[in-house]
Amino acid sequence: MTHFNKYKTENRNLSAISLAKLKTINGFILPMVIVAMVILIILAVGEMMSCYHYRIKAVRTKAETEAMLAAEAGYERALFWMSQQSDILGALQAGGGSGTINFGTSGCSYEVSFLDFIGARPVFRILVTGISGKPAFSRIVDVAVMQEVTGWAMGVCMIPDSPTTLIGVYFADSEIIDIPIHINDQHETPDAIDIFLIGSPKFLRKVEMGESRHTTTGTDKYGSVMSCFEGGIYFNQPYIRITNEAAVQSKVNRFRDSTKAAYRFTSDGTAGVTPRCSAVQLEFFVEANVGKVRITNHCTVMGFQQNNNNRTKDFKIVPGSGGASFQRYDIYAYHYKPTDVTPVVATIEDTYVTQSFGGEQSEPGGQIYVDGSVVIGSCDYEDMVVKGKITVVATGNIWIADNIVVDGQHDANGLPVADNPNILGLMAQGVIKVVDPGMSNYASGNPNNYPGPAPATTTDVADANASSTRKHRYKPVCNGTSATTNVRILPDPTIIEAALTVGGGGWGAENVERQSGSNKYGNRKENPTPAGNNDTLIVRGSISEAVRGAVGLVDADGYLKTYRMDNRLTEGLLPGDIWFSGKFVPAPAGWQDYRASN
C-alpha cells in the first residue's frame, strides 16, 4: 500500500511537472507563431507590392513604347504628307503640315514647319508628340529634314519618238555611271523594268527606282541585273516632281518674285525671219578676276524644224498634257541681235539676292529670270567661265553653244574641288540643249543640208513690225571661227559644269540624226578632229529632266556622254529652291527623341 501511494505521489508530481513544461512550451510557441505570421504577412505584402510595382512598371513601359511608336508613326505620316506636296514651301505658307493620328490606346499629333537654311538649301522641322496611357505618357520626336538631292533624276528613262510615243534609252555594256540616279515609276501595263540595260553597265552610285522590284504576280524583274548596281539599288522610292507642271511653275514664280527687277527680262525679238522666237543672250566671262555676265535682250532666234520624212528626236512636252504628249519644236539655227539695244554688263554679284522664308534668309546667290528663251555662248570668248554663284531660269528653252565651266580649282578628275565657291544653275520650262553649230551653215547639199536662207551678215535685217525702227544683225554663237564665216564648231569635248533642271522635256543635243534608212538626216556638225568619231559631252553637276533627251547615237552621230556628280550641290549652294525630290532625309545630327515631362 505504501508503494502504491508512493507511486501515485510520484505520478502526480510528474504530471505537475509535465503540465508546467507544457505551459512553458505553449507560452513559447504562440509568440513564435505570431512572429511567423507577421513575417509571412510582411513577405506577402512585399511580394504584392513587388508585383504591383512590376505591373506598374510594365504598364509604364508599355505606355512609353506605345507613345514612342505613335510618335514615329506621326513622323512617317508627316514625311508622307511632305512627299505629296507639289511645292512644300507653298503648302506651308498655305497653312498645311499638321495633323493627328488616333490608335485607340495611343495617338500622336504632328506639325511640319520651316526651320532654317543650310547655305541656300531649305531645312524643315517635323515635331511629333506621341501619347499613351492614363495618366498619359508622352514621347517627342523632333527632326530637321531636307529634300534629298539626286545626281540624275528622270521622270522617265525614255525619249519622245513621236507626238504620242516614247522609246527606251539604254545604258550600254561597259558604260560606267558615276552619278546617283532616280527614275519614277511608269505604271505601265504589263509591268516591266523601268531602266533599260544592254549587257552589264556599272552603276557606281546608288540607283533609286519608283517601282517595286517585283510585279503584282511576284515575278522578280531585276533578279538577272542586280550585279550591275554596285552602289546599291532601292525600290518603291518617292516620286520626283520634275514632271509636275504645277510644281515647276510654283518654283519658277518664286524665283521670279525674288529676283532683282533689273535682272528680270521679258524678251521681244522681232527680226523679220521665220520661224523665230525671242531670246536673251548671256555671255559669262572673268575680267580682272571678277565674274561678269553680258546680257543682250530682245534677240531673235531663227529656228528650224525637221519635216516628218527627216525626223530627229527634237521634242518637248506639250504644255498642259501632263507629259502624255509631245511636239517637235524649232531647234536653234542662229540669232539676230538688235542694233538699238545696248548689252548690259553686270558683275555676278550684282545679281545676288537672298531667299527669305519664315523670317530666315538663305546665303546670297545670283539670279537671272527670263520670260522667254536663253542662248548661252559667244564668239568673243574661248569658253563661258562662271565666277560666283548664279542661277538662270527661263520660261522657254535654254540653248548652250559653248563650253560652260566654273572658275577656280578642279581636282584630278576635272570636278570643282569641295571649297570651290563658283557654281551655275540652269532651269528651263522648255528644254535645255546643246545646239548644232552646223545650223549656221547654209548651202544646200553640204553635210548639214540645211535649206534655210543665208543670213544677212553685212546689212541689218528689218524688224517684223513695220512701224518699228529696230534693226537686227546676224550674231551666231559657238567658238572656233569668226562670226562671218559659215564654218562653226563646238569644242570636243564639250564641257558643261552646272546643275541642269529641265521641266518641259529633256537634256541633250539638238539635230541628232534618226538614223533609219531613207529617213536618215545629214550629220550633226561636229568637231572634224578626229574624223568619224563621236564627240564627247561631259557634265559635271546634276541633271533633273522630265523625259530623257537624245545625246547621240554610238558610232553614228552626236555625243558620247560622261556624267559626274558635283557633290557640292548636296550642300545647297544654289538659290531659288529648285529641288523636286519627294524624299526627305534627316539633316546631319538632325534627329532628337526624348520623354516629355509627365
Domain boundaries, the chain: 74-147+586-595, 149-238, 244-440+475-515+527-564
Across the 598 residues of the chain, what is the mean pLDDT of every consecutive 10-residue run?
53 56 61 72 67 62 86 95 89 90 93 90 94 85 91 93 90 84 92 92 93 93 94 94 91 93 92 83 96 94 71 88 90 85 94 88 93 89 89 96 95 94 95 84 47 53 63 70 56 91 94 57 57 78 93 74 87 72 89 79
Round to the nearest angstrom and report the end-to-end CA distance of the chain: 93
DSSP 484-551: TSS-----SSEEE-SEEEESSS-EEETT-B---GGGPPPPPP---SSTTSPEEEEEEEEEEESS----
**CA 276 centroid distance within chain:** 33
Give residue 484's pLDDT. 45
30 φ/ψ angles, rounded to the nearest 5 degrees:
-60, -50
Q: How many other β-carbons are positioned within 10 Å of the β-carbon of residue 593? A: 15
Q: How far apart are CA 231 and CA 584, in angstroms?
A: 20
The grid coordinates of residue 180 equal 546617283
537 φ/ψ angles, rounded to the nearest 5 degrees:
-110, 120
Judge contact between 373 and 464, C-beta under 8 A.
Answer: no
Give residue 61's pLDDT. 73
pTM of the predicted model, to two decimals? 0.85
Rounded to the nearest 10 degrees, how much is the dihedral formed by the CA atoms of 330, 242, 205, 222?
A: -100
Give residue 52's pLDDT. 54
